[in-house]
Amino acid sequence: MRASRDSLQADAVDALTDALTQAGLQVRRDAPGGPDGAFLTVEGPNRFLTLEVKATSVADPGRVSAMLQDSARRRSSRSPADAVVLVADEVSRASRDLLREHGWGYLDRRGRLWLRTQDLMINDTDIEPQPRRRGEDPPSDPLSGRTAMGVSLWMLMHPERPAGVRFLARELDCSPSTAHDALKQLRAVALLRPDNTPLIPELFWALADRWRPERHHVGREPNPGDDMSPLGFGKHGPNFVISNDVAAAAWGAPVVVQSGHRPDFYVPPAVLNRAVRLLGPAAVTDSGATLSVAPIRAVSEEAFDHPSHSTPWLHWPLGHPAVVALDLAQDQSRGREILADWDAPQGFVRVW
């Protein structure tokens, strides 16, 4: 039995109820519900408190940051909750600090409970472990394989297009059984819905935490006057697409770049070695551009001509906004601040 989002949420409510009861509190489940989480009522020392229960599988810092940002955007000032509590299989030390900083409580199912309001304080109390009771145990790292990462990326680029196993197998050049297993793993940790559409922004931040494109530094960027014939031509020449800061600025993100800013490109696997030779390998300090292999075919094939006042000199097509956002997310401070203030361009879905 797969662990759907509903079952993950239901288990979270059960686990938090048990944990609060262990802490000596009386808990009721008759508080109003809502689209963003379940609610519990707790009898505090001075009054009844309403807790909003959030659920995830592994609460790594990237996913916690995304949940905090999403909650801040959607949360009403008239919300019935006195506090929010995140329930997860694991809550890392960095995630604990982040949750406390924003006033969220947490239940680490391995046996830690923390909650603080004006009327109640549970200070990182040891409790009995609360393992999940519904569904299969989640894979230790559902995004560890190339296919699972490829499936996740394709879903983020097309969040409103449910995709079947055979379609994904063709897109990712893998067997149907491999694509099936990847989908199963992502559903098991509630990153995909049963209809194979992504949970947003959870899937984005789970992939962002594992996004490590290998960048090959070259002496200069390509230009229209180059003889690119050895590389083969697609719709946009040899399928070079811009990502990272330059593409983000062109798409309208709040980042400033100037002509001469080093561009970061994605290219098809078959193009990389020849492109490096043509443009000249370089040390990081002498780099005029970087080239990375497009992790799935769609990254280099879905390129966009998008003239922008922010980058009037740019003559290469842009990568998909989801890919650009994944690159920005690698900068834990500046990049993620940019993402927090960047809405998806018109015609695209914000997945971060």
Is pLDDT of 7 > 80? no
Q: For position 213, what pLDDT does the model report?
A: 92
Q: What are the domain boundaries of the chain?
A: 5-126, 146-208, 216-340
Least confident stretch, 39-48, 163-172, 297-306, 334-343 = 39-48
Whether CATH 1.10.30 fits 146-208:
no
Return the pLDDT at 129. 81
* Strand-pair category, 216-218 with 58-59: unpaired
Q: What is the pLDDT of residues 152-172, one digit of tens each?
A: 999 999 999 888 888 999 999
Question: Which burial class, exposed, middle or buried, applies to 68 when counting CB atoms under 10 A from its CB (0-12, 13-18, 19+)?
Answer: buried
What is the average pLDDT value for the chain, to the nearest integer?
Answer: 85
Contact criterion met (CB below 8 Å) for 311 and 246:
yes
**What are 253-296's pLDDT values in tens digits?**
999 998 889 999 999 888 888 889 889 999 999 999 999 999 99
pLDDT for res 37: 62
Tell me which residue of 321, 227, 218, 224 sits closest to 272, measured CA to CA: 218
CA separation for the pair 240, 224 (Å, rounded): 11
Q: 1-10, 94-103, 117-126 — which one is most confidently predicted on average? A: 94-103
Confidence at residue 287, expressed as pLDDT on a 0 to 100 scale: 94
Neighbours of 250 (CB within 10 A): 26
Determine the CATH number of domain 5-126. 3.40.1350
H or E element at residue 203: helix 202-208
Angle at 50 between CA 46 and CA 56, to 5 degrees: 135
Which of the listed ranges 69-78, 198-207, 231-240 does the model predict with the highest average pLDDT? 198-207
Distance CA 111, CA 89 (A): 10
Most confident among 66-75, 111-120, 222-231 (mean pLDDT): 111-120
What pLDDT does residue 280 have?
93
User: 27-28 and 38-43 as β-strands: parallel, antiparallel, unpaired?
Assistant: antiparallel
pTM for this entry: 0.65
Would you state the pLDDT for residue 232?
57
Identify any residues that bridge with 107 across adjacent strands, giving them in sequence order: 87, 113
Look at residue 113 and tell me whether its pLDDT is greater than 60. Answer: yes
d(CA 315, CA 128): 60
